[in-house]
Structure 1
Amino acid sequence: MTAYELDHVVLWVADPVRSARFYREVLGLEPLRLTEFTVGEAPFVSMRVGPGTVIDLTPLSVAPTLNAVPGAAGTAGHLVNHVCLAMAEEEFEALRGRLEAGGHRVTPDQRDSYGARGIAPRVFYFSDPDGNVLEARYYEE
């Protein structure tokens, strides 16, 4: 079987700067090209998830131009179901604490959820400011 690595996920957001602040302050992700975006030199902001993976925070206002891609008519601008972020158990607990302290709604834990590395003992879901749903999980080492 071929092994792939997730390169990037594009999330449609109303305000990439606001969303970058959320992903930096709550999730602890590093923003890339934020300054370039704010001065009009980059079309979106990226958030570093891992060495080879980013989340692109793309302004919803550009969705109509992406609908022009052959075969993509009507697809741009739709939210994904959710994006899952795996982390160490300590960070899992810290993230839940930051979300709750910031007044963000967090689902109750789900147990024994299957993912890319097998069974995660606990997962929970939350939303970013644009309604994109994220899942947090950890795997036992």
Structure 2
Amino acid sequence: MGDTTSLERMTDHTPRLDHVVLWVRDPVAAADFYEKAVGLRPVRLPEFVSGQAPFPSVRVSEETILDLMPLTAAERMTMLPGSADSAGHPVNHVCLSFDGDGFEALRARLEERAVPVSDLSYGSFGARGEARRAFYFRDPDGNIFEARHYE
């Protein structure tokens, strides 16, 4: 795949992952973990701290973020019947892909912070085919992540 321009992205009607909402006990602490351990830049953190935004996020890519939803907001989740019951029930896992250097840097940052990581696995299937290497870790709220790289 070559580079795409903004105009090409606007006319490309392929569905894309916009965001994943993670339930967290402390959004500020979660944003700190994702920034320092995982390397994802916080979004709307000052606005959340000042009460201007209901939750902060962290940026995965130009098009994708992880929302760090406070567990205290569960009772206000009324968009569908039973939505509030999803609090405390994380998805199986979320997978983030990195280039080789980013993959190594992530593992090193997690280990520096004593975050347990799984053994490496090889050849697991994902959105871009078989990954060269992968491993799993948990965030401080118990959400499970897989990190992988393809190249």
**How much has 1:18 moved relative to structure 2?**
0.1
Deviations 1:33-61 (A, max 9, x none): 10010111100001011001000000011
Q: Deviations over 1:17-76 (max 9, x none)?
A: 00000000011111011001011110000101100100000001111211x223334543
**TM-score, structure 2 length as denominator?**
0.87
| C-alpha RMSD over aligned residues | 1.3
Q: Residues 76 and 84 of structure 2 are in contact (CA less than 8 Å); yes or no, is this contact kept in structure 1?
A: no
Q: How does 1:55-66 map to 2 (within 5 A)?
A: 55-66=66-77
> Does residue 1:69 correspond to 2:79, yes or no?
yes
Aligned residues: 138
The TM-score with structure 1 as length reference comes to 0.93
2:72 equivalent to 1:85: no
Whether contact under 8 Å (2:22, 2:69) holds in the other structure is yes
- Structure 2 residue runs of 5 or longer lacking an equivalent are 1-12
Indicate the structure with greater helix content.
2
Higher fraction of strand:
1
Indicate how the Cα distance of structure 1 residues 73 and 30 shifts in structure 2: closer, same or farther if over 3 A, else same: closer
Is 1:53–2:64 an aligned residue pair? yes
Matched, 1:20 2:20: no
Structure 2 CA distance for aligned equivalents of residues 73 and 36 of structure 1: 25
Give the SS at the match of 2:38: coil
**8 Å contact kept, 1:31–1:46:** yes
* Rounded Cα–Cα distance in structure 2 between residues aligned with 1:132 and 1:74: 17
Per-residue Cα deviation, 1:84-110 (whole angstroms, up to 9, x for no partner): 000101110111111111101000011
